[in-house]
Structure 1
Amino acid sequence: MNIVIVGAGKGGVSLIESIAKLEDTAIVLVVDANLEAPGITLAKGLGIQYAQSLEDIDKFSVDTIIEATGKESVAQALNVRFGSRCNIIDSHGARLIMSLVERDIKTLHRLNDQLVTINSTTGIVQEQLLEISSSIETIHDISMKLNDSSQASTQYIQESDKIVKYVNGIAKQTKILGINATIEAARAGEYGRGFAVVAEEVQKLANSSEGFANEINNILKHLAEEIQKVFNEVKRLEHLSQTQVQASDQVNQAVANLIDDANFK
């Protein structure tokens, strides 16, 4: 459909802005006596032809003429000259069209402002999500290091336990040796009295060594239990960090999709 707009004032500008966006509709000419009118300036920017005289309409194949000046004389002149050739929409119809157009334009501007806000907000959200992802990865790295440390500590405890068992074995052998020495000292009677004192001290040392070995063994046992708890919590932390990374990636993708949709619209 080819359209001519007569009148390039405020109403004409609204009509040009709206109709220029329609498919299967073309503004072939904008007419106004004032070539400095805002509608003429807009037509120049959009590559639409313009003129000062109604006679120039004869040069074009026109389906509809919209009279946007509001002047009765202009409407009459259009009806007399072109009424039999095409549809004429007078100022009353044009005013209705312009009010609808202005409302649509305001709605579009409001939607554009909302899209700008959405883009700005989603950009901030993406930045925050990237920081969260980075911190989650750091937590993951820390949990892996803690996991390695707990495994190494467990290995050291196992080695220490072997040493304690070895010391405990020596203590038992020393204790048996002290008992045997006491028996031999008793057999020697008066001559073995000094040796009996030494045997008694050897037994005390064996008993002390065995007691210390048992205490160390208990401490190592409790330490191993605590390290196992740390290991379990590290595993749990690792699982949670992986879950957070996946959730963060999904949110990032959702935000990216939202931005794409907003830009597409």
Structure 2
Amino acid sequence: MQNIIIVGAGNGGYALLKLIQQAEYLQVKAIVDIDENAPGLKLAKENNIPTYTDWKPLLNGDIQIIIDVTGNKEVFHELLANRPATAVLIPGEIANLIVSLLEEKNKYINIIDQKKMMQELIFNSIEEGMIGIDDQGIVNLFNKSAEKMTHISVDNAIGKHVHEVISLSELPRVFDSGRVELNKELILESGTKIVTSRYPMIDEAGKQVGAIAVFKDISEVVRLAEEITNLTEIQKMLE
């Protein structure tokens, strides 16, 4: 854990404190500003971080990093002259660059999280069941529709061998053969009759990394077909 002192609690210090709080390996020991109403001091107080109006008493402690975001060259030179030998002093220009990089990183993380959330929403909203395996036959994809049809929860399916989830699954064979199989009928242990299509999964480098099955419950369709057949036979008999 790296202990940090932030000198300057204006907008730059505020942004820096907010970002540093997200890093598990960094800890802000104190933040300093002569203006007691500085936004960084208010944020620090909300998070129980000690605040000061003078940085001099803080340099005797266990500090590894001092960040100067005051923009005052005199303050920087004083900090440089008085810092502990084991502490690194980071000037405001570098601090602002760090803030910009961290903000950009968080921006991309948020974009990725939003895309992931959207993909999961679509994955779990479709009517068809989906189950995927890796090259060892371990289930790594299992959506809510698959959960409903198999009567096995997502948590109990993920991480298990596919034959522990669907004993008659042909996904390992599809992975071995690399061939697509379309519209194959199968009865699950739950008694649900499905029609399934199986596909090998290939990454961008052309390497086969797993296999996936997309399946649909046809129990109701079969029941309706049987009813229609019976009605047709009755109609013929009446005629």
Instruction: Give TM-score, length-normalised by structure 1.
Output: 0.47
Within-5 A mapping of 1:1-265 = 1-58=2-59, 60-115=61-116, 117-118=118-119, 121-122=121-122, 126=125, 138-150=220-232, 156=237
The whole-number CA distance in structure 1 between the counterparts of 2:22 and 2:231 is 67
The whole-number CA distance in structure 2 between the counterparts of 1:11 and 1:25 is 17
* Cα 1:25/1:138, change in 2 over 3 Å: same
Secondary structure in structure 2 of the residue aligned to 1:28: strand
Gaps of 5+ in 1: 158-219, 221-265
The whole-number CA distance in structure 2 between the counterparts of 1:91 and 1:57 is 19
After superposition, give the CA deviation of every residue in 1:202-222 in whole Å (9 maximum; x if it has no partner). xxxxxxxxxxxxxxxxxx9xx
* Cα 1:6/1:25, change in 2 over 3 Å: same
The whole-number CA distance in structure 1 between the counterparts of 2:65 and 2:227 is 77
Which has the larger share of helix? 1
For 2:173, the equivalent position in structure 1 comes to: none
Work out the percentage of aligned pairs sharing the same amino acid. 24
Aligned length: 153
Two-structure CA RMSD over aligned residues (Å): 3.4
Gaps of 5+ in 2: 129-144, 146-214
Q: Which moved more, 1:138-147 or 1:72-81?
A: 138-147
The whole-number CA distance in structure 2 between the counterparts of 1:22 and 1:63 is 15
Q: Give the Å deviation of 1:65.
A: 0.3
Quick check: which has more Rg, 1 or 2? 1
After superposition, give the CA deviation of every residue in 1:23-75 in whole Å (9 maximum; x if it has no partner). 33211111122232222232233332222211341463111101112111211
The whole-number CA distance in structure 1 between the counterparts of 2:73 and 2:63 is 21
The whole-number CA distance in structure 2 between the counterparts of 1:36 and 1:108 is 32
